[in-house]
Amino acid sequence: MSLLYNLLLLLLSPLLALYLTYRLVVKGKSRAGFGQRVGLAPKLGPPPAAGRVWMHAVSAGEVVAAAAIARRLAEVAPGVEICVSSTTPAGRLQAERLIPSARAWFYFPFDFLPCVGLALARVRPTAIAAVETEIWPNWLWLARASGIRAAMVNGQFADKGFRGARKARWLYRWALGQLDALFMQTRQAADRALYLGAPEKRVRLVGNVKFEQQVTAPRPDAVAAVRHLLDLDGARPLWIAGSTHPGEEEQVLDAFSIARQQVPGLALLLVPRHIERAADVAALVQQRGWTAARRSVGGDTPVDVLVLDTMGELAGLYDLADVVFVGGSLVPIGGHDILQPLFYGKPTLFGPHMHNQQDLALLALAEGAVVQVPDTATLGRETARLCIDAQARNGLRVAAERLLHNNTGAALECAKLLAALARGDRSAAGEVMARSTS
């Protein structure tokens, strides 16, 4: 199967080379850490006696899950070293910020045997962990062939990715077979792993580790800037629309107009998912007739809408909000993390497109901890209602506390598994597996 997969990569290599050239030259992507992407990961010495775990989390959201596990791993096995790879620059920065104790942070290598082999030889892990849906066949196969234990942690198969995976079950059956354990978020995720060919005795349901992510403390300078630019020192309510996408900002601004009819003083902190779009988003706000500013530029006069264009500040700023909307859900992106505002007890709304967060969204809706809206007009009306109705806000806060309290423990189970795999203790790994739900 390895031969077949790599033969396929070889046959596709001209197209892959053209695509990579396009990303590098035209899009300007994959340039950061290019040497690491071809295998020149940090060259580390021999692993400690307790072992070394290489965790791979593709981007910022997956790094949040990796960080929750890393904190628990430091508690149960303080001698284990952790290395963290990511694919995107946002993930790389997030890893340094959330996992400061890591032995190394670096970009994940391309899944070609020479690149993966060189990276494994330089990092020298005793265990590797794919976070959520990071299935790279050569990485997993070469690690197992080298005697390195492998696991999937906080495993998930979103609808779109699963539809694609079903078309290549032969490949997934082989790749998932390289894993010693698959610790999945939900029963549906576990069933999908089994359908794709994961060995039944290795699949366990443990829950979502993001329920145990660390609450980000607001940065004082960011809080002061937002308070000043939106004039929040009085009784002015704040609506935060986080992680928005093209085509979604227009809908948010329409909803803002509707909400302002009932809440005239409402301010908006608008946060595009990709901060390089901030200037265009600010221009869009001004075209709609609202006064606007960008966080990185500042200003002396308070505005109606502030566009956040700085990294790492959104999570902490949720603490200032009266109501929160989580983006990627009014357009068919699939939604983003709804837990961060819930940690602060904030009324949280999202749109109809939540297929990438489906299980978490359904769980939160069943608990009554969030509000899903079908369209722009409803978003505007619900935002206004929650700004006005303190009792409704409190009800959502209580439900969010209950949701968070009832869904902890997954990070600890993942940490115990990785600690056992890192030191090569099959007996301990088996005990962790036995305690988890099959």
**pLDDT tens readout for residues 240-257:** 999 999 999 999 999 999
- pLDDT of 31 above 90: no
Same domain as 245, residue 392: yes
Least confident of 24-33, 257-266, 361-370, 427-436: 24-33
> Domain check: are 331 and 305 in the same one?
yes
Q: Quote the CA–CA distance of 347 and 379 in Å, as a whole number.
A: 12
Q: Percent of the chain having pLDDT more than 70?
A: 97
Question: Mean pLDDT throughout 269-291?
Answer: 96
Question: What is the Cα–Cα distance from 47 to 123, expressed in whole angstroms?
Answer: 9
Question: Is residue 9, in this structure, part of any structural domain at all?
Answer: no
What SS3 state is found at 337?
Answer: coil
The CATH number assigned to the domain holding 231 equals 3.40.50.2000
The SS3 call for residue 385 is helix
Asked if 364 and 377 sit in the same domain, the reply is yes
Contact 268, 341 (CB under 8 A): no
For residue 247, tell me if it sits in a domain: yes
| C-alpha to C-alpha distance for 394 and 365, rounded to whole angstroms | 16
What's the sign of the alpha-carbon dihedral 245, 312, 340, 136? Answer: positive
pLDDT in tens, 212-243: 998 888 889 999 999 999 999 878 999 999 99
Cα–Cα separations (whole angstroms), residue 405 to 51, 61, 367: 32, 21, 12
Q: Report residue 409 as tokens.
A: 């423990």
Q: Which residues of 328-361 are buried (b: 16+ CB within 10 A; e: fewer)?
A: bbbbebbbbbbbbbbbbbbbbbbbebbbbbbbbb
pLDDT of residue 215: 85
Q: Which domain holds residue 42?
A: 30-207+409-435
Least confident residue range of 20-24, 169-173, 226-230, 314-318: 20-24
**Together in a domain, 364 and 246:** yes
Q: What mean pLDDT, rounded, does the chain reach? A: 93
The pLDDT score that the predictor gives to residue 216 is: 80
**Whether the predicted pLDDT of 289 surpasses 90:** yes
Of the pLDDT bands very low, low, confident and very high (cuts 50, 70, 90), residue 26 is low
- In this structure, the answer to whether residues 163 and 242 fall within a common structural domain is no
Residue 77 predicted with pLDDT over 90:
yes
In a domain, 8, yes or no: no
Block residue for tokens 């302002």: 260
pLDDT higher than 90, residue 311: no
Tell me the chain's radius of gyration from C-alpha atoms. 23
Asked if the model's pLDDT at residue 156 lies above 80, the reply is: yes
Least confident of 29-33, 283-287, 330-334, 431-435: 29-33
Q: How many residues does the chain have?
A: 438
Number of domain units in the chain: 2
Nearest to 175 by CA among 355, 4, 422: 4
Which secondary structure element, helix H or strand E, spans residue 65, and what is its range?
Answer: helix 60-76
188 and 230: one domain? no
Judgement on whether residues 201 and 232 belong to the same structural domain of the protein: no
For residue 358, the model assigns a pLDDT of 87
Average pLDDT over residues 20-45: 82
Tell me: pLDDT of 115 over 70: yes
> Which residues on adjacent β-strands are paired with residue 242?
271, 326
Kindly state whether residue 18 falls inside one of the protein's structural domains.
no
Q: Closest Cα to residue 337, out of 322, 321, 350, 319?
A: 350
Read off the pTM.
Answer: 0.86
Residue with tokens 């409704």, as numbered in its chain: 392
> What is the domain-level CATH number for residue 139?
3.40.50.11720
| Whether residue 414 sits in one domain with residue 288 | no
Residues 128 and 239 in one domain: no
Same domain? For 50 and 145 the reply is: yes
Question: Considering only CA atoms, which of 146, 156, 151, 112 is closest in space to residue 13?
Answer: 112
386-427: per-residue pLDDT in tens?
999 999 999 999 999 999 999 999 999 999 999 999 999 878
- Quick count: other Cβ atoms within 10 Å of Cβ 409? 14
Number of alpha carbons in the 13 Å side-chain half-sphere of residue 205: 11
If asked whether residues 121 and 180 sit together in one domain, one would say: yes
Percent of the chain with pLDDT over 90: 79
Residue 211 and residue 339 in contact, taking contact as beta carbons nearer than 8 Å: yes
Residue 377 has pLDDT above 80, yes or no: yes
Q: Are residues 86 and 172 in the same domain?
A: yes
SS3 130: strand
> What average pLDDT does this structure show over 96-106?
96
Residue 323's closest CA among 285, 261, 365, 269? 269
Residue 199 to residue 74: CA distance in whole angstroms: 29
Q: How many CB atoms lie within 10 A of CB 177?
A: 15
Query: 34 pLDDT exceeds 80?
Result: yes
Q: 172 lies in a domain? A: yes
Tell me the HSE value of 118 on the side-chain side, using a 13 A CA sphere.
15
- 7 occurs within a structural domain: no
